[in-house]
Chains A and B, each alone.
Chain A
């Protein structure tokens, strides 16, 4: 029986009186590759933030390898959704990736050779060595997204959380990116929030649907009922050939 990497137990999150997540239960096993889909505003980002320890749930508890997320160090590599970054910020790609090596226990201490090695490996994995000394503001959106993934990999995490990682990765790199994640899953647990259903069907092992409530049956199948609950309307679901079938026979 593999270890439980993340355990979310009856978690609800309210913003003021608005319920964003309702009674979420989710168990993610070590080396799972879990995709979370759902409509905009369905609480996907909020759930990732709860797991990352950025947001305390109003009710319920979260355990990351048995500990509360704000007590677990070096377990989580977080790749935030692309926001509007400060393009004038005076930092190079290298500076940004190195910030992945910080932690509470590294406070005040200088980074060492092992830190630089881990950061360099993360850069290589995302094919960014050539851009190492470029200012972060000079990069394209897709390149910058790869820098944020490299920064999360530099943590050498046991769990990788990705929020819409392919939104700004250019199409050409898309397939490569998913294949890279697929290779990574032997080393770590991956939870990815995405709209890219065709990629999910090809690469992800398990799929959960989230729209305030979570629909998850620890498999890759989305039943018609799950789909209806989450998107609240009948959607034409294109089921590709059998190897990548997500949707049950219909």
Chain B
């Protein structure tokens, strides 16, 4: 069973699964408890615009997508407040705009058109070493930020207004949180693709929530479940020769529905 680990692309895939699981396990918890699932999905689709722009400019698409999605995350937070538009409406518009921009940039890119499919549905088996380095750096940023701001993130997630009466800078802290969501979304695009990002951002956290009663426990459970989904999903896709992103997503969804019968 383990002989498939000897291939370098499989080793890279396993490392990518581990690095992505740390990020989505932790950030997914904040996405679920803050009810920003829709916003996160909007960011992931908008990030596709960054991927397209990256190809068009001849830069690393993932690096451009990082900048792009962080800008979108902060922009949605700020614009819905200033424009007085409903946040979910703004998200819907950004979502479509990002996808459309991405498709047009890729069409305009001269020469070889890259494999769009792998960005839409992910292909963990083609993750290059250089992306692993980016993922490692993002994980370190994320772990450090969460360690430093753990109690503030908890306070604004639970009761933003009360935190504000304590003069905790709630706006700055929620922008930092949104930035972490954007970074995580881009990492996950590599693993499961734009369309399946939500599988790993919400399902591990949602399942873990049913069995835990504190935020830190929920995070640990959620990271463990992400590891389970990505690694087992990867192995299943190797054995069955089915697309890895979709296999991971279906495995996660199956565990989610099973978990509805158990837990607190």
Contacts and interface: CB of A to CB of B under 8 A. Distances in A.
B152 A102 contact: yes
B214 to A, nearest CB: 6
B155 interface: yes
Residue of B151, B152, B169 with highest tally of chain A CB at under 10 A: B151
A108 B144 CA distance: 11
6 contacts: A52-B165, A53-B165, A70-B167, A89-B157, A91-B154, A102-B163
Interface residues of A, number: 31
A31 B217 CA distance: 42
Interface string A96-107: 101110111001
B166 interface: yes
Interface size class of B (residues with CB under 8 A): 20 to 34
Contact of B213 (A76, A80, A135): A135
A54 interface: yes
Given A90-B218, A102-B152, A53 B164 contact: yes
Given A98-B151, A102-B152, A104-B169, A80 B161 contact: yes
A95 interface: yes
Interface in B120-173: 148-149, 151-152, 154-155, 157-159, 161-169
Contacts of A129: none
Per CB-CB distance, the 10 closest pairs between chain A and chain B, nearest first, are A135-B213, A78-B165, A99-B155, A104-B167, A90-B218, A52-B165, A108-B148, A73-B167, A90-B215, A102-B166
Contacts of B167: 53, 70, 72-73, 103-104
Interface string A59-72: 00000000000101
A86 B33 contact: yes
Contacts of B165: 52-54, 76, 78
A211 to B, nearest CB: 24
Contacts of A108: 148-149
A88 interface: yes
B158 A96 contact: yes
B41 interface: no
A111 interface: yes
B80 interface: no
